[in-house]
Amino acid sequence: MKIRLATAVLGCALASIVSAQGSYSPYNESPATALSRYVRTLASDPKDFETLIGAGKAALEMGDTNAAAGFFARADEVDPQSPLPQAGMGAVSVANGDPQAALPYFKRAQELGLPLSAFGCDRGLAYDLLGLQAQAQSDYRAALAGRDSDETRRRLALSLAISGNRNDALQALAPLSAKGDPGVARVRAFVLALTGDPNSAIRAINAVMPGQSFAVAPFLQRLPTLSAAQRAAAVNLGIVPDAGSYAVASNSGGDRLSGIDNWLAAPQQAVQPARQVAQPVVQASYSLPSPAKQVALAQPKIWLQLASGQNIDDFTSRFQRMKSQNPDIFKGISPYVARSADRARLLIGPFRGPSDAQILAEDLESVGITSFRFTNSQTDRIAPLAM
């Protein structure tokens, strides 16, 4: 089993390729706001190519890889000769931790004329995930001239550290350190741990967050024991093999910009006792609030998202199908619908904290059901799903 502790992948290629069609977010919007604007445009013009690409990028940054793939696929139907949807699908595959699936997309994008500087950051990560660090570093260096050079530089430093080249890795970070980049502390700690010095990595964490290293110490100490490909997945995507010693809470349903930085910023919730899922699955306690509190939405609460879309009627049949196939897991769990400006979501919860949500997410994954953590805003309207 693998545990996803956080997602920090950004889809670097899209930061460059969208600029070829215009600014991704001329209004300095959050990904959620941008996606809402794109969806409104698509409602009146579903074949607007630039909007489809922008929507795909926004969805990817929000961690909704399924939605991102859908937007890129539609863009490819509109203009099959454009390299942008191909690079987008490659970025989606990388974000999903599937580098083998990503490479053909990047190859097609290059054949259609996209320069390496535009997608090398993401293809480099694909190579890193395959344990091919030399190829990864070559792509990263080519992408340093691209739009998202900062993220490229972070990934290059991590790749160099995976190769055991600490000095070059720290030198790669120097320009970011000079301008006070907020991600440097996290990457530098990873570089130290990857190159066999977890104690220095722990001290680096304590320097920026005094007394908080206890939560990340098991992760940092374990990094040197992983294979090169596993190390790349751990520090870039937050995916680590579960050896039964610890597990780390997921952030896979939230803003990709937060990623591992938020995990490090809230370590008191990060490390949880390992929990093995046996077959058949035994129903566990997920500590749901009382029913009276489940519709009180004055404050955010944490949920698991099982599906999203516009057809709410479809949610009922989908939930009933999941429940009938897995009655032990869904015993006592009621479905909800969250309505926002751009979509509706099928939810279960709310949960008292990330660890409770993570436990159920792992049970769902064990039977082939993918879920994403979702934290509602005060503007979301959440109500029980009509059954």
Distance CA 385, CA 315 (A): 8
Distance CA 194, CA 128 (A): 14
Q: Do 57 and 107 reside in the same domain of the chain?
A: yes
pLDDT of residue 45: 92
Residue 346 three-state SS:
strand
Residue 69 CB coordination number (10 Å): 21
Residue 271 three-state SS:
strand
Tens digit of each residue's pLDDT (9 = 90 or more) over 176-204 = 888 888 778 889 999 999 999 988 888 88
Tracing tokens 């900062």 back to the chain, one arrives at 150
Tens digit of each residue's pLDDT (9 = 90 or more) over 201-252 = 888 888 777 776 777 888 888 888 899 999 999 999 888 876 443 333 333 3
pLDDT of residue 5: 47
222 phi/psi in degrees, rounded to 5: -85, -25
Query: Residue 117 is part of which domain span?
Result: 1-274
In a domain, 270, yes or no: yes
Residue finishing a domain among 248, 274, 300: 274
Q: Do 297 and 154 reside in the same domain of the chain?
A: no
pLDDT of residue 262: 40
In a domain, 348, yes or no: yes
Q: Do 37 and 129 reside in the same domain of the chain?
A: yes
Q: Do 1 and 115 reside in the same domain of the chain?
A: yes
- The answer to whether the bond into 280 is cis (omega within 30° of 0) is yes
124 phi/psi in degrees, rounded to 5: -60, -40
- The answer to whether the bond into 182 is cis (omega within 30° of 0) is no
Residue finishing a domain among 274, 309, 330: 274
User: Given pLDDT bands bounded at 50, 70 and 90, which one contains residue 364?
Assistant: confident
Q: What CATH number is associated with residue 316?
A: 3.30.70.1070
Distance CA 75, CA 141 (A): 29
Task: Report the candidate in 354, 210, 200 with the shortest Cα–Cα distance to residue 270.
Answer: 354
Bigger pLDDT: 70 or 311?
70
Q: For the chain, what is the domain count?
A: 2
Structure tokens, 82: 């454009």
CB distance 301 to 375 below 8 Å: yes
0.85 cut: is pTM over it? no
Distance CA 212, CA 204 (A): 11
Of these ranges, 63-67, 180-184, 288-292, the one predicted with the greatest mean pLDDT is 63-67
In a domain, 282, yes or no: no
Task: Report the candidate in 285, 257, 252 with the shortest Cα–Cα distance to residue 370.
Answer: 252
| 8: amino acid identity, one letter | A
Q: Do 138 and 192 reside in the same domain of the chain?
A: yes
**Cα 55 from chain centroid?**
16
User: Given pLDDT bands bounded at 50, 70 and 90, which one contains residue 300?
Assistant: low
